[in-house]
Structure 1
């Protein structure tokens, strides 16, 4: 980051941090934007300078989706084009891990760092965690060597492609999943993304399905008929599924024959998928499901969306899902 008077971009998207009570319920509000500049200056003085923008209208992050991811990516790029040395994205906690992962791929190669943060309590509430989180996010942007997309929450800086919302209460709502088989301090080797940073994206529909006992294969057919282009299957353990049921395997094959890209991840909070371990998993591979390794559900969904939105065909998607772009594997 520049040594003199750095310019920090702040993008407000909504979320609890800016909510106000309406009819007895917390709801998105624009009010935070009106006071944000003064509050930031009071916290940090005149160094750095600030460039503040907002998505309109602000949303509860439960309503975020691929269109929101692309709107955020465009807004971050606009901050970078305006000379910002880093960008803080204020976001609701419920889908922050999804948005962070998606932005990590959509903004792959961006020269300035991006940090998402938010809060479990509105900024106007006494004792809120909002301002400590914002202050920490700004500090994370200014750390030497800061790059890529990260989350900052409850005093911790987290990988955008390795974290998940772990708790619905308490201030330490996020946890970062360790990368299996990677020792601390080991340099991360990642590949260049197969798209340009300022690609003209063509968003595609993606889905996440958690398998469970009694899973209805017709669910996959419904996604196929609805035009869903890619699906993340949250499987059991190291990558097993009810492949002993012919109807389930047949539904997988129909999806694959229709061009749907299928990738398996584990429902477990630790470990990885290795779908060749069990016969029930091997049948997934035979049906055309891709092994997602140690990707989180959030990272797998964001990466699959980016690959499809970049216009990559099914064979290329298969290849790049196996390549580590941001540390997601």
Structure 2
């Protein structure tokens, strides 16, 4: 007699498991206590379940790179325990960030990982939690589905191409359209890498951007920064103070990576003089990466202990479809 497939569940918190508290919604461990019964109700005895909980469950607004590493360790532990796939229940605010980070930190994991959550708590009668759970479990069971993905509102999306686009509807996530196909390469670290977490940052350019923000990066111990640029990668490179601050940050060892603020399109640093100056100043072209994927990739490369030259090389390579 064949054994039912074993799936792992990592409950991290988020709206899906929140409970009312003082007129607001707050993280709760209660959902984890009822997950076995819930999953049996959805799938009967056709699946076996192993459940892990991030302790304590959090509002995903509180997620940090340390949270990413705790999640990666928990997913690896479920894989080691024989799980054929792992479902991650996560808050929507930083779901795209965590899913993208896992895509890099878990490069080479031979089983699928699918993130989901909900816009309304699971105990709300109108909650989207149940269709999202069912869809995510179905995505986990697809043949040949190794890698990290995100399932929400009936769609299974790439973990490294998504962003949260709305806060007032169930279809909260959008996937950036793929660009021209690229040759993917294996990550330059083993699956069970000994990570050395580094601080990374994301700065969004805007009219009147204060160059002093760039000077603050090395002072805050930031090792790498994603610059969310205009359009196809332009920045206020006609501002001498901005360019001087950019140079100071780089001399202090901060890696700078450019992505576009636009939900469609990509950075093209030969298109305008303003973007070419950015390239000539040593800012790395992030191509079509989302800000979430760029942040996760930059963190992984730095945490792997690679030097600046190696980081720059791998930032230009497509590891899991992020480019």
Query: TM tier, shorter chain?
Result: over 0.9
Q: Deviations over 1:19-40 (max 9, x none)?
A: 0010000000010011110110
Q: Aligned residue for 1:304?
A: 298
Paired residues for 1:63-212 under 5 Å: 63-182=62-181, 189-212=183-206
How many residues in Structure 1 have an aligned counterpart in Structure 2? 322
Q: Tell me the SS of whatever aligns to 2:79.
A: helix
Q: Aligned residue for 2:25?
A: 26
Paired residues for 1:203-282 under 5 Å: 203-282=197-276
Range with greater deviation from structure 2 (271-280 or 292-301): 271-280
Q: Partners in 1 of 2:95 and 2:189 — Cα distance?
A: 24
Q: Partners in 1 of 2:251 and 2:279 — Cα distance?
A: 14
Q: Deviation at 1:224?
A: 1.5
C-alpha RMSD over aligned residues: 0.9
Tell me, which stretches of 5 or more residues in structure 2 are unaligned?
Answer: none
Q: Deviation at 1:131?
A: 1.3
Q: Partners in 2 of 1:156 and 1:139 — Cα distance?
A: 11
Q: Partners in 2 of 1:211 and 1:224 — Cα distance?
A: 18
Q: Deviation at 1:91?
A: 0.1
Q: Deviations over 1:18-76 (max 9, x none)?
A: 00010000000010011110110011001110000100110000000100000000000
Q: Deviation at 1:283?
A: 0.9
TM-score of the pair, normalised by structure 2: 0.98
TM-score of the pair, normalised by structure 1: 0.97
Q: Deviations over 1:93-116 (max 9, x none)?
A: 000000000000000000010000
Q: Partners in 1 of 2:6 and 2:57 — Cα distance?
A: 23
Q: Partners in 1 of 2:121 and 2:190 — Cα distance?
A: 37
Q: Partners in 1 of 2:253 and 2:308 — Cα distance?
A: 7
Q: Partners in 1 of 2:309 and 2:271 — Cα distance?
A: 24
Runs of 4+ in 1 over 6 A off after TM superposition: none
Q: Tell me the SS of whatever aligns to 1:13.
A: strand
